[in-house]
Amino acid sequence: MLYAYVKKPPGISVFDVRTEAPGWLGIGLLGFGVALHGWSNVVLAAHDPAPGRAATLAATGPFRFVRNPIYLAGIALLTGVGLGYGPWHIRDLVLPVVLFLYFHLAIVRVEEPALRKLFGASYDAYCQRVPRWLPRLAPGAGNPQSRLH
């Protein structure tokens, strides 16, 4: 929301968004980002270990489709704000790309090795089934077991 406040023109509400096509696309991305972020956090919280119990791998909800839905939600939110408020600048599309690159490097270099160490073979199998960023169009694509049945 801070970016929305900074991005909006002076003297208008954060709810006053552009009404042409980029504005509507921005509103759609904002709605998608908020919904995905909320859904992802609810699912992730359900896998949070209780005291004295081991963590479980979150592979349900949006984590069935992509391994990093919370990061995707953040990128959608940033892009939505950039498109939703005028005037439009090139930085409104550059910032989400920079954020994506940062997330990608952090995930590949830090998060995935830590999850692989924590969950072992089950995380490797999950990585084979579920793509990192973009969902597969065909259900079960990438899952060798799904082609056998």
DSSP assignment string, 18-61: --SHHHHHHHHHHHHHHHHHHHHHHHHHHTSPPTTS------SG
Considering only CA atoms, which of 74, 73, 69, 40 is closest in space to residue 130?
Answer: 69
Tally of domains within the chain:
1
Give the domain range for residue 87. Answer: 18-137
First to last CA, the chain: 47
Place of tokens 């980002």: 33
Instruction: Confirm whether 5 is domain-assigned.
Output: no
The confidence score (pLDDT) of residue 137 equals: 79
The confidence score (pLDDT) of residue 141 equals: 54
The confidence score (pLDDT) of residue 78 equals: 93
Instruction: Confirm whether 77 is domain-assigned.
Output: yes
The gap from C-alpha 112 to its chain's centroid, in whole angstroms, comes to 15
The confidence score (pLDDT) of residue 143 equals: 52
DSSP assignment string, 94-142: HHHHHHHHHHHHHIIIIIHHHHHHHHTHHHHHHHHHS-SSS--SSTTTT
All residue ranges of the chain with pLDDT < 50 are 144-149
Considering only CA atoms, which of 37, 65, 43 is closest in space to residue 56?
Answer: 43
Instruction: Confirm whether 34 is domain-assigned.
Output: yes
Spell out the residues 6+ positions from residue 48 whose beta carbon is closer than 8 angstroms to its own: 55
CATH number of 70's domain = 1.20.120.1630
3-class SS of residue 8: coil
